[in-house]
Amino acid sequence: MKRKLVYIMMAMILTTGVFAGCSNADNEGSTNVVSGSDSGEYRVAIVTDCGEITDGGYNQAAYDVANEFCQKNKLEFEYFQPTEDTTAARDAAVETAIENRYNVIIMPGHSFAGTIIDLSKVYTDVKFIALDCSESDLREAVAALDDSQEIEDEKISDIVYMENVYCADYQEELVGYLGGYAAVKMGYTNLGFAYDADTNDAKKYFYGLAQGAEIAAREVNVDVTIQCADEENVKNSGMTMETACDAMYAEGVDIIFAYGNGVLDQVCEAADDNNKNVVAVDGNQAVVLDEEDREVVAAVVEKKYDLAVKDVLQKAVAKGKWDKYLGKVVTLGIASADKPEVNYIQLSSTTQYTDGFTEDNYKALLSSIYNKEQNISTDPSENIPWEKISDIKVWGLNR
């Protein structure tokens, strides 16, 4: 019997993004001594996108590793938080850091694309390190400033001052793929996806989630359904994300993938009330307990901001190898077939493995992805409306 995915519209259903290849940023051993003639001049700052450094997510992950590095190497370090979630506020926070003589600015989050456009060409002696910021994010930021500018065929370095900029993006589809594949192998067949905004990252994540779920469903010969809830549309309908997820669980959804700031807590509350489970995305949100100390979070698919930050600090700041980074936009994914701990995308150590998906199965999956045996693909069209996902003909055996 040929198995399939059934897509159910709850709020709005996603379409796809662009799948990029993995990049290995050459993990090396740590160092406690900064070397290089100009190393003593570095002052490192973290500027959060708008959240706090105790968010349990990417802001905290970036802060913790940078703080530890700077303490070991006796470098001045501080963090700055914008007053609101706007590019103008992020610009102001970065400029405050620069006015305080911080010259290596680490910026976690794709929302810093506009700040790079605004400030990199102004402060050419400052190094800007942006995480989860892709070339498409930069192009969108340029287009937002002047929608008449023809930039589609332009090199990114011709439209953005990149000589003092390093951007590290993540294979968002791969993040979703790991989660979708693992969930189905663990025995979950009625899946949900709750997300906070109609962003390119959310599209890419869902596209990977659907592919991973499809491949796993075919391997174990089961049918899989996915329901989706968009926070904005949920609010417009007079509901909260928690009540929407309550409804999804009541309709038979076994596990919901929580994507985006502010979504996880609401999904976990619904999971707690319905004795169901959650897959979280990013950061240290690996264990959420209900009233009976039951772990409602079955897994966290982490984009390892700490590894990306450590790469830059150890190689560029400590060893002066800025030429490996500045002027580049790289895509981070699976860097090793046999060392899960060095990969930029990982399942958390708290993953609730089952007989259907063990830790050894996870390692085998990573190896097959690294060796391109999974044949993970993308939809070549960027113009398919989100409502038309059922029309896409690239899933599993339909490719």
Please state, as a whole number, how many other Cβ atoms lie within 10 Å of the Cβ of residue 288.
21
Contact call for residues 167 and 112 (beta carbons, < 8 A) = no
Dihedral of CA atoms 208, 254, 11, 17 in degrees, nearest 10, equals: 0
**What does the pLDDT average to over 22-47?**
55
In this structure, which amino acid lies at residue 177?
Y
Q: Looking at residue 278, what is its pLDDT?
A: 93
How sure is the predictor about 40, in pLDDT bands with cuts at 50, 70 and 90? low
Q: Looking at residue 29, what is its pLDDT?
A: 38
* The token pair that represents 230 in the structure block: 């968009």
- What proportion of the chain, given as a percentage, has pLDDT over 90? 53
**Cα–Cα dist 277/36, whole Å:** 50
187: left (phi over 0), alpha (psi -120 to 50) or beta: left
**What does the pLDDT average to over 168-196?**
93
Q: Looking at residue 210, what is its pLDDT?
A: 87
In this structure, which amino acid lies at residue 84?
E
Higher pLDDT, 45 or 207: 45
Digit-coded pLDDT (tens) for 289-323 = 444 445 788 988 989 999 999 999 999 999 999 99
Digit-coded pLDDT (tens) for 223-282 = 888 888 888 888 888 889 999 999 999 999 999 999 876 788 899 999 999 999 999 886
Q: Looking at residue 294, what is its pLDDT?
A: 56
**What does the pLDDT average to over 51-60?**
79
- Between 3.40.50.2300, 3.40.800.10, 3.40.309.10, 3.30.230.20, what CATH number should domain 5-17+172-303+345-398 receive? 3.40.50.2300
Please report, for residues 61, 192, 245, the alpha-carbon distance to residue 240 in angstroms, rounded to integers and kept in the order given: 28, 16, 9
Look up the CATH architecture of domain 39-171+305-332.
3-Layer(aba) Sandwich (3.40)
Whether the pLDDT of residue 395 is over 80: the answer is no
Report pTM. Answer: 0.82
Q: Looking at residue 378, what is its pLDDT?
A: 58
Q: Looking at residue 358, what is its pLDDT?
A: 97
Residue ranges of the chain assigned to CATH 3.40.50.2300: 5-17+172-303+345-398, 39-171+305-332
Strand residues in the chain grouped as ranges (E): 5-8, 44-47, 77-80, 104-108, 127-131, 165-170, 190-195, 224-230, 255-259, 277-281, 297-303, 328-332, 345-347
**What does the pLDDT average to over 106-134?**
96
Whether the pLDDT of residue 15 is over 80: the answer is no
Whether the pLDDT of residue 44 is over 50: the answer is yes
Contacts of 72 (CB under 8 A, 6+ apart): 32
**Which segment of 12-16, 27-31, 241-245, 246-250 scores lowest on mean pLDDT?**
12-16
Higher pLDDT, 236 or 185: 185
In what order do the strands lie in the sheet containing 345-347?
Answer: 5-8, 224-230, 190-195, 255-259, 277-281, 297-303, 345-347
